[in-house]
Amino acid sequence: MSTVLVTGGTGYIASHAVVTLIEQGFTPVLFDNLSNSKSLVVDRIEAITGVRPRFVEGDLSNIGLLESVFAEFKIDSVIHFAGLKAVGESVREAQRYYANNVAGTLALTQVMAAADCYSLVFSSSATVYGDPETVPITEDMPLSATNPYGRSKLMVEQILSDLAVSNENWRIALLRYFNPVGAHESGLIGEDPNGIPNNLLPYIAQVAVGKLECLSVFGGDYQTVDGTGVRDYIHVVDLVEAHVKALSALAPEHGCQAYNLGTGQGYSVLEVIKAFEQASGVEIPYKIVERRAGDIRASYASPENTASKLGWRARYDLAAMMRDHWCWQQRNPQGYEA
Ligand code: NAD
Ligand code: UD1
């Protein structure tokens, strides 16, 4: 049985990954500083799987603690989710973002190498494509970033790629997520953002339960089907399954490779609102306002490279994403706090 260190293990995406890892016979060890998640997540994972995973509370900057985790648990590979992810906050708190996301990853890889563990799956983002000239986006398209969050992802990708050149033992998968949404079908784990959500789905879901009044749709004059921005929404359960496929693909000679994780299908904001209304039976009041600074017109993946190299394709459609996101929000209107 393979032991996988899951950094950021109690977070939104990682908690789903831990469920899938347990179901597929892996032994996950969770490591998280709880800066953006709750330890109650561990109880919920146990309720879903019947297995209580080991959880270590700690920060990536604590090298001594990380070393002791590698020594105690004999880690075979790492899925590195831990990171700060709010774009606006990254502009105001650039120092904290680079320290956490870039220096944190460096510390992790240093401890991994010392422990002779060279298999790493990294949570990157489609944000590294900047404002793409064409869609669908393929992995070989030019990379750029417009804010510290995006640059931290780009820097880490470059660092990891250089590590793989410097030492051929490294086997690294850079997973570029498009827009993860939805939740585990049980409704026991899901996304629980702090404060007012920045992202579309958590915002819509909080309007639906009456926590927020009205959705602002950022821009109605893009060159798209209906003038609103187009994104590639992907069910979080599909997304985490790709991580397990990536782990299996980390064979010798893999080096450092990037994979898009999207469905290949773009939907506009208005299409998403409609799909959510159909899934929930709740009307979502909205108004079209100015474009959000830094937003792009359209972003969706070409999933072909990932399909051929990892043997993975997304299975859930938009209706299933909305159904499961709504189920989580309805069962946990106050998130994990309640
Ligand atoms: P999340 O905030 O729910 O999870 C991240 C977890 O990492 C949190 O539990 C947080 O407490 C922990 N963490 C942060 N810094 C840490 C540190 N220094 N040491 C230990 N733990 C730390 O976010 P998520 O949505 O699950 O995202 C997971 C990863 O995927 C992040 O790296 C994020 O940048 C990336 N990503 C997310 C999205 C998205 O839309 N959710 C899109 C692209 C990429
Ligand atoms: C945002 C981040 C991106 C990050 C991604 C996943 C910005 C500029 N980009 O991408 O770096 O990788 O989240 O975490 O923040 N929308 C509304 N009203 C809202 C919220 C969103 O109309 O209240 C629209 C947006 O304009 C966009 C779509 O919904 O067209 C999706 O937005 P969002 O969920 O924030 O994701 P991204 O903008 O793709």
Q: What is the pLDDT of residues 253-300, one digit of tens each?
A: 999 999 999 999 999 999 999 999 999 999 999 999 999 999 999 999
Active site residues: 149
Separation of CA 220 and ligand 1 centre (Å):
30
> Residue 330 burial (CB < 10 Å; 0-12/13-18/19+)?
middle
Separation of CA 164 and ligand 2 centre (Å):
32
Q: Which phi and psi angles does 93 have, rounded to 5°?
A: -125, 55
Task: State the pLDDT at residue 337.
Answer: 85
Rounded Cα distance, 159 and 110, in Å: 12
Q: How confident is the model over 235-259, as pLDDT tens digits?
A: 999 999 999 999 999 999 999 999 9
Whether the predicted model's global pTM rises above the 0.95 cut: yes
Q: Please answer whether residues 219 and 291 qualify as being in contact, where contact means their C-beta atoms are separated by less than 8 angstroms.
A: yes
Architecture of the domain whose range is 3-181+233-262+302-314: 3-Layer(aba) Sandwich (3.40)
**pLDDT(225) > 90:** yes
Separation of CA 39 and ligand 2 centre (Å):
27
Q: How confident is the model over 309-337, as pLDDT tens digits?
A: 999 999 999 999 999 999 999 999 999 98
Average pLDDT over residues 115-119: 98
Q: Please answer whether residues 65 and 56 qualify as being in contact, where contact means their C-beta atoms are separated by less than 8 angstroms.
A: yes
Q: How confident is the model over 52-98, as pLDDT tens digits?
A: 999 999 999 999 999 999 999 999 999 999 999 999 999 999 999 99
Average pLDDT over residues 196-205: 97
Task: List the alpha helices (DSSP H) in 74-176.
Answer: 87-92, 94-97, 104-114, 148-166
**pLDDT(338) > 80:** no
Q: How confident is the model over 129-180, as pLDDT tens digits?
A: 999 999 999 999 999 999 999 999 999 999 999 999 999 999 999 999 999 9
Query: Which ligand 2 atom is at minimum distance from the Cα of 126?
Result: 12
Contact residues for 195 (Cβ-Cβ < 8 A; gap 6+): none
Task: State the pLDDT at residue 77.
Answer: 98
Residue type, 106: L
Can you read off the two tokens belonging to residue 73? 């648990």
Q: Where are the domains of the chain?
A: 3-181+233-262+302-314
Rounded Cα distance, 221 and 26, in Å: 47
Encode 122-142: b = buried (16+ Cβ within 10 Å), e = exposed. bbbbbbbbbebeebbbebebe
**pLDDT(1) > 80:** no
In testing the pocket of ligand 1, which one of 81, 176, 178, 201 has its CB within 8 Å of the most ligand atoms? Answer: 81
Average pLDDT over residues 99-125: 98
Q: What is the mean pLDDT of the chain?
A: 98
In testing the pocket of ligand 2, which one of 36, 200, 203, 299 has its CB within 8 Å of the most ligand atoms? Answer: 200
Pick from 121, 124, 110, 41: nearest CA to 76: 121
In 3-state terms, the chain is what percent helix, strand and coil (to 5)? 40, 20, 40
- pLDDT tier at 115 (50, 70, 90 boundaries)? very high
| Protein residue with least CA distance to atom 6, ligand 1 | 8
Query: Which ligand 2 atom is at minimum distance from the Cα of 230?
Result: 30
Pick from 100, 140, 125: nearest CA to 13: 125
**pLDDT(202) > 90:** yes
Ligand nearest to the CA of 30: 1
> Residue 72 burial (CB < 10 Å; 0-12/13-18/19+)?
exposed
